[in-house]
Amino acid sequence: MNEHIFIGVAWPYANGPLHLGHVAGAYLPADIFARYHRLKGNNVLMVSGSDQHGAPITIRAEQESTTPQNIADKYHQQFIECWEKLGISFDLFTTTGTENHTQVTHDVFLTLLDKEYIYKEKTLQAYCPECQRFLPDRYLEGTCPYCGFTEARGDQCDDCGKPLNPSDLKNIRCRLCSATPQFKSSEHFFLRLSSFQDELTRWVKEQTHWRRNVLSTTWKFLDEGLRDRSITRDLDWGVFVPQPGFEHKRIYVWIEAVIGYLSASKEWAKLQGDDTSWQAFWENGAKGFYFIGKDNIFFHTIIWPAMLMGYGNLNLPYDVPGNEFLTIEGKKLSTSRNWAIWLYDYLERYDPDPLRYFLTANMPETGDSDFSWHEFLRRNNNELVATYGNLAHRVLTFAYRNFNRAVPDPGELDESSQSLLNEAKLTSGAVDKLLYRCEFKGAIKAAMSLAQEANRYLDEQAPWKTIKSEPGNSAKSVYTVLSVLTALKTIFYAFLPFSSEKLHYFLGFDGNVVEQGWTIQDLPPGQKIRQPQPLFVKLDEDIVADETSRIGSLKESKGI
């Protein structure tokens, strides 16, 4: 039975380049999951897009004396180039700047307004007397009342992750000029979040398959009691509010960003030439997975489900595999302090698969994890090159030279060969189960263990020693390892798509890995092998010192 799998991935703010934390947190796990389900023959729709709106972009535009649109366009283009190079296989990567997105956002807004889940209220908003303007949350800075972090923003504390209201901040100041803001009356729309308390509580109780960190964060909000939240801002940049008197206000960026999952699905459907094809991913038995970092859990397990409940007739999230954070060389990643490794910069100098391998093997699934160049080099050289790449290259080259460029006929398989082939089947089954449950780290470990097993077998059999004296034995062991490689190119495909396609080609198969599906292919004796090349490149020890000193040296960040 084919399943419909919807995959929504956090919308990156188009106010600065992507870094490895973004990749490990959301984009890579989402892509692995999408590729896996495509291999399984399921229908996958994976969408996201640049978040063009919000104060981070207007602040950056003000700093650089340009327009928010220029900033957004620049980074949108860079994001697309990065996805292409890293192999992040979106079905659609759009932006929140489209006419379609505005329409869908207005439809959701007006439906919720009509059902009285949204209401108007006058509130006190921060106003800077120096800058003579209202200050949206991100323009405000102060001390977090929960953890004491002195650079908390008006909407959230980056240190403890709690969502905040500007009035919660102590020692509040304007981020543009440091003046102390006054509070003035301004009318805004509010989402009646409190009215979803019971329904959300019932629903979250049923989500026993969610990760523990996602559940505990969600329960913290529910246990504290949900408060209504303002969903418009005093800004001129963003999706306009479709109500008179709100011409200088915009819909809060987080509200329209989560609606983006729906608007992107509708845009994708239009591009398919079937305006209704999005429905199969949002109704009935379809499952929706949302890949995000842990700082976005609230918006995906509380806000977005509440909006969907209010809107009606669309699927709530099935799972929200929120990842923890990636640290860099043992230190907290920070765009404002320029402590990050930028994705575009990595991809200019290295291949995509080693990064995909490293970040999966160290994925921050249940706790924070660290990226260091030393560990990156070790995993690349000892695991990708020495274990997997070398296995493939040794055997393919040997068969190419000694068995007439073809898969040899193994004759009858002995016990150790049978047992290794059986191990390949078991690994395929185990990785299948782990990937289905979004346990990527465990899945890639199981895959690499099979490559290790195959290496041990190959060293024991040493077909290069028996090729003259016992060519039959030599053929049998070469055939067995080539069969394991046939399994490995499929098992590794979701993680390492570029090298899997190469291996598929060298082994003499036609088409591509996805067309073959998840099932391990038979490897017919006599199949012609194509001239093999190494799958991975060994890296020089020197890169560790060079790359470590490079961190923080690029002036490309200025993240807000």
Question: Cβ of residue 129: shortest distance to Zn ion, in angstroms?
Answer: 8
Nearer to Zn ion, 136 or 463 (CB): 136
Tell me how long the chain is: 560
Nearer to Zn ion, 182 or 419 (CB): 182
Question: Cβ of residue 145: shortest distance to Zn ion, in angstroms?
Answer: 8
Nearer to Zn ion, 224 or 542 (CB): 224
Q: Among 260, 233, 244, 42, which Cα is nearest to 123's?
A: 233
Nearer to Zn ion, 37 or 175 (CB): 175
328 sits in which H/E element: strand 326-328
Nearer to Zn ion, 177 or 545 (CB): 177
**CA 11 – CA 223 distance, rounded (Å):** 28
Angle between helices 390-402 and 497-506 (to 10 degrees): 10
**CA 495 – CA 379 distance, rounded (Å):** 15
Nearer to Zn ion, 177 or 462 (CB): 177
168: left (phi over 0), alpha (psi -120 to 50) or beta: alpha
End-to-end CA distance of the chain: 46
3-class secondary structure, 370? strand
Question: Cβ of residue 146: shortest distance to Zn ion, in angstroms?
Answer: 5
Question: Cβ of residue 238: shortest distance to Zn ion, in angstroms?
Answer: 20
Q: Among 187, 148, 194, which Cα is nearest to 168's?
A: 148
Can you give the three-state secondary structure of 34-77, one letter per residue?
Answer: HHHHHHCCCEEEEEEEEECCCHHHHHHHHHHCCCHHHHHHHHHH
Question: Cβ of residue 176: shortest distance to Zn ion, in angstroms?
Answer: 4
- Specify whether the CB–CB gap between 354 and 384 falls below 8 A: yes
- Specify whether the CB–CB gap between 289 and 304 falls below 8 A: no
Binding residues (CB under 5 A) for Zn ion: these are 128, 130-131, 144, 146-147, 149, 157, 159-160, 174, 176-177, 179
Nearer to Zn ion, 131 or 537 (CB): 131
**Quick one: tokens of 168?**
């919660």
Can you give the three-state secondary structure of 249-290, one letter per residue?
Answer: CEECHHHHHHHHHHHHHHHHHHHHCCCCHHHHHCCCCCEEEE
**CA 265 – CA 504 distance, rounded (Å):** 32
Nearer to Zn ion, 90 or 298 (CB): 298
Other residues' Cβ atoms within 10 Å of the Cβ of residue 72: 24
List helix spans (H) across 98-252: 99-114, 197-205, 212-224
Question: Cβ of residue 174: shortest distance to Zn ion, in angstroms?
Answer: 3
In one letter, which amino acid is 308? Answer: L
**CA 52 – CA 80 distance, rounded (Å):** 14
- Specify whether the CB–CB gap between 487 and 430 falls below 8 A: no
For the chain, the C-alpha Rg in angstroms (whole number) is 26
Q: Among 265, 268, 272, 302, which Cα is nearest to 286's?
A: 265
Nearer to Zn ion, 179 or 426 (CB): 179
Question: Cβ of residue 284: shortest distance to Zn ion, in angstroms?
Answer: 41
Question: Cβ of residue 178: shortest distance to Zn ion, in angstroms?
Answer: 7
Nearer to Zn ion, 127 or 493 (CB): 127
Nearer to Zn ion, 144 or 424 (CB): 144
Question: Cβ of residue 281: shortest distance to Zn ion, in angstroms?
Answer: 37
Nearer to Zn ion, 160 or 545 (CB): 160
Question: Cβ of residue 233: shortest distance to Zn ion, in angstroms?
Answer: 16
Question: Cβ of residue 164: shortest distance to Zn ion, in angstroms?
Answer: 8
- Specify whether the CB–CB gap between 333 and 18 falls below 8 A: no
Nearer to Zn ion, 176 or 544 (CB): 176
Q: Among 73, 81, 15, which Cα is nearest to 336's?
A: 15
Question: Cβ of residue 139: shortest distance to Zn ion, in angstroms?
Answer: 8
Question: Cβ of residue 130: shortest distance to Zn ion, in angstroms?
Answer: 4
Can you give the three-state secondary structure of 423-442, one letter per residue?
Answer: HHHHHHHHHHHHHHCCCHHH
Nearer to Zn ion, 128 or 302 (CB): 128
Question: Cβ of residue 227: shortest distance to Zn ion, in angstroms?
Answer: 17
